[in-house]
Structure 1
Amino acid sequence: MIHRRVNSAVTPSIPSASGWRTCAADRHRFLRTLAVMVVALLVPFASGALAKTQEVGLAELFPDERQARTIVVINKVLERFHYRDFELTDAFAEQVIDNYFEDLDPGRLFFLKRDVDRFARSAPRLDDDVAKGKLDTAFDVFRVYRMRVDARIDHALSLLQEPFDFSRDESYLFNREEADWATTEVELNEVWRKRVKNDYLLLKLAGKDDDAIREQLRKRYKGITRRIHQFTPDDVYQAFVNAYARTLEPHTSYMSPSTSENFDISMRLSLEGIGAVLRAENEFTVIQRTIPGGPARQSGQIHAGDRIVGVAQGLDGEMEDVVGWRLQDVVDKIRGPKGSVVRLQTLPKSEAGGGRMREVSLVRNQIKLEDQAAQQFIIDGPENAPSLRVGVIEVPAFYRDFRAESAGKDDFRSTTRDVRKLIKELKADGVDGLIIDLRGNGGGSLTEALELTGLFIEEGPVVQVKDSFGKVEVEVDPDPAVVYTGPLAVLVDRNSASASEIFAGAIQDYGRGIIIGEPTFGKGTVQTLIDLDRYVPGDDTELGRLRLTMAEFYRISGGSTQLKGVEPDIRFELGLQGVDHGERSLENALPWARIRPARYTPASGFDLERLKRRSAERIKGDDGFRMLIAQGRVLSEIEAQDEVSLSERERRAESKRRDEVLKEQKAAFLRARGIEPVDEDADDVDEEALERQQEIIDRILTEEAARILADVIVERRADERPRAAMRD
C-alpha cells in the first residue's frame, strides 16, 4: 500500500453540501490536497463496528435521519471524486442488492430464494431511494436475515442431538459462493445437516471426544445468534453502504462514527500485537500475511493461509471458539497490551480437509521500526561462478519515520537511508552484484519508492499518477546522485505490492536491473480517507469517514501496475496453478489500462532467453525447488477444492496424503542441507530452530536469483574484455 503524506498544518478546503458545482480545477486541487495515505493496518477493521454486549431489538433496526443524510453525501462524493466514472442507475442498484445478500450470507446458508427474489424486485427503485436518503430496503433485508439466522441456528442445535454416521459416502460443498439459493426449507435443512456434520468431523479429526465436540458446536452456533442480535442500526447501515461501495470498486469503503473511533484506536495500537494481517473468508479468520519483526512471524508457526479457529488469553485462559465470528470481534480478542500472552488455535492451510489443529502461544509486542528495517547478507561463490560475491538486501517495507522527520531530527530512519548504508557496506566487502529482495513487501511510503529508485538511476521519472479528472503528474527521482551502478536484480513475489511494484516497474523500464520471481500483487490504485462531517459544515452530527479510490499509478512506460502487477523478466513457476491472487482475485477491481509513456532513456536489455534456459536447467535438479513446487501443487489443490468428503476414512486418508507430500519433501530438502527437521506438531516446539529452518527455505529463491545475476555478470565481463582489447 502507498502512504502519501500531508503536512498536518494543512486543512483542505472541502466544498459544502450546497457547493457541488465546483470547477474541475478546484476539484483537482482538492483531491491533490487530500492525497494523503492508504493505511497499512497490522490488524484490520471489519465491516461492522465493535459488537455490543446487549441485544438489540428488531423494533430498533430502522434507519435514522443521520444515516439518510450520510448516504446522500456519500453518493455525491462517489459521483464527483471517485476514480471510476460512476452513476447511480437501476443496473448498479441491482448489483448492490446482490452484493448485500452475499455480504450478509456468503455461504448461502440462511436466505431462501424467495427472499432474494422478493428484494430483487425492489432494486429498480433503490437508486432513487438512495439518492433521496431512503434506506428502508437495506433494513428490511437485515431484519429478514436475522429471523432466518434464528431459524437456522435452532435447526442446527437440534441436529446436535442426533448421531452422525461418518462411514457414509457423501460430500459437503463448503464453498457455496456460487451455489444456488435454496428454494425450500427442506433443501436448506439438508445443507445444514451436512454443514453440522462437517463441523463435527473437523473437531473429531482434531482428536476431541463426542461430549466436547457437541458442547463446542452448541457454543459456536449460539454465538452466531448472539452476535447477529447485537447488530445496531449503525452496523446494519455500514454493512449496506460497504456492499454499495464495493459494487463500485473493492478498495472503497465506509466507516461509521463508532467504527471510525475504533479505527483510530487500532491505529494507535497497531504496532502492539501479534503482527499479522487478517481477513475474513467464509466463516474463518485467515492469516493473510505476517509482519517482519512481529511475534507471529518470529514464532515460525504462523503462516499465510492458516485459519484461526480459537483464541485464549494468558497461559491458562479458556480457548474460545471463534469460527463464525465477525473479523473485528476476533481482532479484539487477539489485540492486547504489550507483554501479555495470547494463545491461538490454528488450522494450518495444508489441513483444509483434515483437522489437525496447532496451538501457538505468542507474547504481544510492539513491532519496532528496526525489526522491519532493511538487512543485508552476502552469498559467496554461487555454484555457476565460485569466484563471485553477490550482496542481498532484504527490504520488508517502504518505511519512513515521518514523526521524527516532522520533529526536525536529521537522523530519522527510512528505507532509502538504511539501504544506502547497506550498499556502502556491501561495496566495501567487494560484492560483484546486488539483489534487492522485495518478497512479501506490501508497500509503504511513495516518497521512499521514489528515493530508493533514485539510488540506482540518474535523474528521471519513476512513476506517473493519474487522478479522477484525467490529470497526470509524473513523480521523479528527487536526487540525481547514483549510489550503485553495478549489476542489479530485484526479487519479487505475489505479495510484493504497491510501492514495491513502483520500484520494480521503474527498474525494469529503465533496463537498470533484471526482475526475478512471481508476478506481483497488482495494487495500482491510490486511496484517501475523507471525513464526511466536513461536507455538512455547521452541523455537529457525526457522519463517519469514506475511504475513496481517487488515483491510479502508471509505469513510466505507460502501463498501469493495476491488476497485472509487474511481470518478472525471469519467472519462477512454483506449482501454484489456477490460483487467483492479489488484485486479480477481487471483484470489481479497476482494469489494467495504459497512458502515454513518460520521457526517459532505457539502458540496453539482457539476453533473457539464454538466462531463462540456464535457470530452468538448474531448477530441474534443485531439491529446494522440487520441494517448493510439490508444496505449491498441494496448496493449489487445496485452494481449488470447494467440496470435501464426509467420510472419516476418506478425510483421514486425504489429510495423510497431503501431509506426507509436504513433510517428506521438506524433510528431504533440509536433510540434504545437513539439517534435522523440527517437529512442528510437538508440544514444545523449538521456535529458534524453526525460525532458522524457515530462513534456509526462504533463501532457496534468493540463491537461484544470485546464480541468475552471476550469469549476467559473467556475460558482461566476457563482452567487456574484447572491447577493452580493441581499445588497447
Structure 2
Amino acid sequence: MKRFKFLLPVLFIASLFLSFQSVADNNPKDKVLLTILRYVLTEGHYHPTEFNDAFSESVYNSFIENLDPSKRYFIQADIDEFSKYKLLIDDQIKNEDLTFFYLVYNRFKERANETKVFYKEILANPFDFNIDESFDMDYEKSPYASDKGQLIEFWRKQIKISTLAIFYDKMKEEETKFEKDSTYQIQPMAVLEKDSRDAVSKNMTEFYERFDELTYADWFTTYINCITEQFDPHTSYFDPSIKKKFDQSMSGKLEGIGARLQKQNEYTKVIELISGGPAWKQGDLEVGDLIVKVAQENGEPLDIVGMRLDDAIEFIKGPKGSNVILTVKKIDGTTQIITITRDIVELEETFVKSSVVKKDGRTFGVIDLPKFYIDFDETNFRNSTTDMVQEIERLKKENVEGLVLDLRNNGGGSLQTAIEISGLFINKGPVVQVKYRGVKPEVKSDIDPKIQWDGPLVVLVNELSASASEIFAAAMQDYKRAVIIGGKQTYGKGTVQSVIDLNQYHNLNEDIGALKLTIQKFYRINGSSNQLEGVHSDIILPDRYTYLEIGERDEKNALKFDKVAPADYTVWNNYENFDAVINSSKKRIALNTTFNLIDENAKWLKNAQDDTLIYLNYDAYKKDIESHEELASKFKAIKDYTTNLTFTSPIYEQTLVLNDTSLAEKREAWHKNLKKDIYIEEALNVLDELTIKPSYHLVKN
C-alpha cells in the first residue's frame, strides 16, 4: 500500500492544517473528515466517481432510504423540503457543508419522536382481523405518506402485520395443545389478540430504547457511507469504534451459532455459515434467510426487525450448551422456527480438510477449502497452501485416482495463497493479472515447476464462491486443468480492498477512523475480468440461488466488467476426454429428477421472493401461509435425497478421531452431509469419467 500514500500531495496535507483553524461549528472533525475522504476517494480509488449532480442525487436517495427504508417516518412534505438539496450535495461536500445532513438528521429525530406517541395509541385498541385489507411490503414502489394522518394509517397496518403474525403463532400453539389433549380449553381469540398486542408493544418499547441509544456519530457514519458506497459496494468508512472491532484479532474460538450476519434494510440476514459451526451442523439455517425473532431457552421471542445488527447479534450469541430459538423467514417466503445449540465455533473448521470416498470400486478424494487463509502475525504461520500440500500428500497415500476440490461458499481470502495453490496443479506460469488504476496489469505467476497433483481434478463452486476462489477457478478453467462444476456463475467480485488509516492525514487530537478502499482489479490470464461475470461453470448444476439476486452483479454501484490483454500461457490439455465428459454430465443432469426439482424450486423461490402482499384478514393470512407451506412441501424431497457413496476420514485422521470425540462428531456430521450431497455426487461422476492422455503419463515418467 506504499504506492497509495504518494497519491496525496503535500499541499493537501498543509491545507488541512489551515482548515482546522477556520472551522466555525462544534463539529470540526466532521468537516475535516469530509475533505480527507473526498481526496482519498478521488486520488486512491481504482475507478473514482466524479462528484457531480448525478453523484449528489444518488447520495441523496441513499441517505433517505437508509434512515427510512420502510417509509415509516418521513412524509411527502419532508421529501419536498429535502429535494432542494438533491443536486447540491456534491458542492456541499467540496465546501465542507453539512446543511443537508443536519436538516435530514434533525427531521428524522423529530419524526421518530412523534411515532413514539402514536404507536402506543394504535396498540391501545384491539385489531379486527375479520376486515378484508392488505399491505404491500414493496417499499421501493410505495409512496411516502401525504400527511401525518396517512402516516399513522401506514403505521397501523404495519403494526397490525406484526400483531397478526404473533396472533397466528398463538392460535397454532392452542390448536396443537388441543390436538394433544382434547380436554384442553383453547384460549378465547380476544385474549390471544390482547396478548399479541402486548407482545408487539413490548417489542416496540425495546426497539425505541435501543433506537435512543444510537448516537450522532452513528447517524453521521451512515451519511458518510452513503457517500463512499457511490464508488463501489466494497468501499466503506469505519468510524473509530467500528475500526477498533475490525482490528481485534480472532481469539481462535467464539461461542455462538457460527453464522455471519448482515443488515438488509430492517432485517438481519444470514450471509455465511461457518463450516463445522452449530448452525452448519444443525442444517436448517441457510444463506439468504432473514432472522425476524430470537428467543432464549424457555423465553418469549424478541422481534429483532429494525434492530441494529450489533444488538441483534448480542441476543443471538451466547454461552456454549445454551439453546437459541430463531424465527426465520426463508427465501421461499415461509416461516420456520429453528433451535440451535450454541457451541464454540473453532477456526480449526475453517481450515482445509479431506475425505476419502469409494465409488464403484474406485477411490477418490474430496478436499474442502472454506477460505484462502494466511496469518502473517505468527512466526510459523499456518496457511492454506501448506495445508493443501499436506492434504494432497495424505490422499496420495490412500491411492486416490482423482480429486474434487470443494470451493462452495468460499468467500476468498489471500491472493498469495490462491496463486500458490493454483501452482500445485500446473507447471509454472501465470495465474492472475492484478491492475492498479492507470497502469498496465501485473501478471502474477506460479514460479515453482513442481506439480503436487497431476491427476484428474474437478472444482466445485457456487454463486457464493468469491474473490480468491474465483481467481483459482478461473486459472484452472483457462489452463483446462480442471472441470469447473456448480452454479451458473460464481459471485463476480474481481476487486481488492485495502484499509487506510485516515489519521495519518490530519493533526487533530481525535481519531477519525479508517476507510476500506478498492485499489485494484483482478483479471484472468485470458484477459477477462472476474468482476460481475465471475467464473461460468463448464457444467451448470441447478441450485436454489440460480434466479435470486445474490451476486456482485446485483449490488449497487458495482464496478463494470472489462478486459485487458491476455497473458502468455500454455493450456495444460492433457485430458483425453475433457469435452466428452462435460457433455455426458449435461445429459445426466437433464434427466435427473432431483436436479429438475431443484430448478423448479429455484424458480418458485424467485416468484415467492417477489410476492410482497401481506393479508391483514386472519383467514386470508392463514390461507396464504398454508398455501406457501403446501407448495414448499413439494420440494422436501430435495432435502431427503441421499447417495450410495461412502465417505471416511483419511488414515492419518482416523487415529485422531478415536481420541477426540469433538473431532469425531464434526467429521461424522460432515460425512453425513457429503452422503446427502447431490452436487458432490455429480462432481464425482465427472471425476470418474475423466481420463488422462497416455502420452502425458509417458512424458511424466
SS in structure 2 of the partner of residue 196 of structure 1? helix
> Cα–Cα, structure 1 residues 531 and 401, in superposed 2: closer, same or farther, change >3 Å?
closer
Q: Relative to structure 2, which stretch is displaced further, 236-245 or 299-308?
A: 299-308
Q: Which residue is 1:39 aligned to?
A: none
SS in structure 1 of the partner of residue 690 of structure 2? helix
Could you tell me which of 342, 351, 354 is aligned with 1:362?
342
Provide the rounded CA distance (Å) in 2 between the counterparts of 1:625 and 1:207.
Answer: 37
Shift of 1:436: 0.8
* Structure-to-structure mapping, 1:275-294, within 5 angstroms: 275-294=258-277
Could you tell me which of 272, 289, 304 is aligned with 1:322?
304
Q: Is the 8 A contact 1:220 1:323 kept in 2?
A: no
For 1:84-136, what per-residue CA distance to the aligned partner results, in whole angstroms no more than 9, with x for missing partners? 13332232112111110011111222212222222121233322221122212
Provide the rounded CA distance (Å) in 2 between the counterparts of 1:689 and 1:503.
Answer: 26
SS in structure 2 of the partner of residue 581 of structure 1? coil
Structure 1 portions without partners, runs of 5+: 1-5, 23-61, 676-686
Matched, 1:391 2:373: no
Amino acid at match of 1:117: D
Q: Which residue is 1:75 aligned to?
A: 38
> Cα–Cα, structure 1 residues 544 and 185, in superposed 2: closer, same or farther, change >3 Å?
same
Shift of 1:609: 6.3
For 1:410-468, what per-residue CA distance to the aligned partner results, in whole angstroms no more than 9, with x for missing partners? xx432222222222232332322221110111111111101110000111111111112
For 1:275-320, what per-residue CA distance to the aligned partner results, in whole angstroms no more than 9, with x for missing partners? 211111232211111111223222334322233233456x556654
Q: Which residue is 1:307 aligned to?
A: 290
Provide the rounded CA distance (Å) in 1 between the counterparts of 2:643 and 2:566.
Answer: 47
Provide the rounded CA distance (Å) in 2 between the counterparts of 1:114 and 1:607.
Answer: 68
Could you tell me which of 85, 97, 104 is aligned with 2:48?
85
Task: Tell me which of the two structures has the higher relative contact order, counting C-alpha pairs closer than 8 angstroms and 6 or more residues apart.
Answer: 1
> Cα–Cα, structure 1 residues 129 and 606, in superposed 2: closer, same or farther, change >3 Å?
farther
Q: Which residue is 1:352 aligned to?
A: 333
Q: Which residue is 2:182 aligned to?
A: none
> Cα–Cα, structure 1 residues 606 and 196, in superposed 2: closer, same or farther, change >3 Å?
farther
Q: Is the 8 A contact 1:350 1:659 kept in 2?
A: no
* Structure-to-structure mapping, 1:130-529, within 5 angstroms: 130-207=93-170, 209-265=192-248, 271-311=254-294, 315=297, 319-335=301-317, 339=320, 341=322, 343-349=324-330, 352-353=333-334, 355-363=335-343, 365-368=344-347, 370-381=348-359, 386-404=360-378, 407=379, 409=380, 412-518=381-487, 519-529=489-499
Q: Which residue is 1:566 aligned to?
A: 535
> Cα–Cα, structure 1 residues 379 and 127, in superposed 2: closer, same or farther, change >3 Å?
same
Provide the rounded CA distance (Å) in 2 between the counterparts of 1:290 and 1:171.
Answer: 35
Q: Is the 8 A contact 1:489 1:705 kept in 2?
A: yes
Amino acid at match of 2:541: F
Provide the rounded CA distance (Å) in 2 between the counterparts of 1:240 and 1:698.
Answer: 46
SS in structure 1 of the partner of residue 170 of structure 2? coil
Q: Which residue is 2:687 aligned to?
A: 709
Q: Relative to structure 2, which stretch is displaced further, 552-561 or 168-177?
A: 168-177
SS in structure 1 of the partner of residue 450 of structure 2? coil
Matched, 1:641 2:641: no
For 1:210-267, what per-residue CA distance to the aligned partner results, in whole angstroms no more than 9, with x for missing partners? 2332122112223343333333221121111011111221111112223323433485
Structure 2 portions without partners, runs of 5+: 15-24, 172-191, 646-664
For 1:468-516, what per-residue CA distance to the aligned partner results, in whole angstroms no more than 9, with x for missing partners? 2334222111422101111111110011011100000000011111111
Shift of 1:18: 4.2
Q: Is the 8 A contact 2:429 2:445 kept in 1?
A: yes
SS in structure 2 of the partner of residue 357 of structure 1? strand
Shift of 1:596: 1.1
Q: Is the 8 A contact 2:541 2:589 kept in 1?
A: no
SS in structure 1 of the partner of residue 260 of structure 2? strand
Amino acid at match of 1:233: Y
> Cα–Cα, structure 1 residues 647 and 185, in superposed 2: closer, same or farther, change >3 Å?
same
Shift of 1:558: 0.8
> Cα–Cα, structure 1 residues 155 and 306, in superposed 2: closer, same or farther, change >3 Å?
same
SS in structure 2 of the partner of residue 378 of structure 1? strand
For 1:551-570, what per-residue CA distance to the aligned partner results, in whole angstroms no more than 9, with x for missing partners? 11111111111111110011
Amino acid at match of 1:277: R
Q: Relative to structure 2, which stretch is displaced further, 621-630 or 247-256?
A: 621-630
Provide the rounded CA distance (Å) in 2 between the counterparts of 1:161 and 1:693.
Answer: 54
> Cα–Cα, structure 1 residues 481 and 18, in superposed 2: closer, same or farther, change >3 Å?
same
Q: Which residue is 2:27 aligned to?
A: 64
Q: Relative to structure 2, which stretch is displaced further, 604-613 or 590-599?
A: 604-613
SS in structure 2 of the partner of residue 83 of structure 1? coil
For 1:133-175, what per-residue CA distance to the aligned partner results, in whole angstroms no more than 9, with x for missing partners? 2212102101111222233343333222333333444332123
Q: Which residue is 2:567 aligned to?
A: 598
> Cα–Cα, structure 1 residues 607 and 194, in superposed 2: closer, same or farther, change >3 Å?
farther
Q: Is the 8 A contact 1:350 1:658 kept in 2?
A: no
Shift of 1:399: 1.6
SS in structure 1 of the partner of residue 377 of structure 2? helix
Matched, 1:629 2:607: no
Shift of 1:271: 4.5
Provide the rounded CA distance (Å) in 2 between the counterparts of 1:163 and 1:710.
Answer: 65
Q: Is the 8 A contact 1:464 1:555 kept in 2?
A: yes
Q: Is the 8 A contact 1:465 1:475 kept in 2?
A: yes
Shift of 1:581: 1.3
Provide the rounded CA distance (Å) in 1 between the counterparts of 2:672 and 2:293.
Answer: 25
SS in structure 1 of the partner of residue 403 of structure 2? strand
Amino acid at match of 2:194: D
SS in structure 2 of the partner of residue 286 of structure 1? strand
Matched, 1:614 2:584: yes
Q: Relative to structure 2, which stretch is displaced further, 288-297 or 507-516?
A: 288-297
Normalised by the length of structure 1, the TM-score is 0.81
> Cα–Cα, structure 1 residues 698 and 520, in superposed 2: closer, same or farther, change >3 Å?
farther
How many pairs are equivalent?
647
Provide the rounded CA distance (Å) in 1 between the counterparts of 2:432 and 2:581.
Answer: 28
Provide the rounded CA distance (Å) in 1 between the counterparts of 2:587 and 2:668.
Answer: 30
SS in structure 2 of the partner of residue 106 of structure 1? coil
Q: Relative to structure 2, which stretch is displaced further, 129-138 or 597-606?
A: 597-606
Q: Percent identity?
A: 33
Q: Is the 8 A contact 2:8 2:40 kept in 1?
A: no
Q: Which residue is 1:679 aligned to?
A: none
SS in structure 2 of the partner of residue 144 of structure 1? helix
For 1:21-59, what per-residue CA distance to the aligned partner results, in whole angstroms no more than 9, with x for missing partners? 99xxxxxxxxxxxxxxxxxxxxxxxxxxxxxxxxxxxxx
Q: Relative to structure 2, which stretch is displaced further, 190-199 or 558-567?
A: 190-199
Provide the rounded CA distance (Å) in 2 between the counterparts of 1:294 and 1:699.
Answer: 18
Shift of 1:655: 3.1
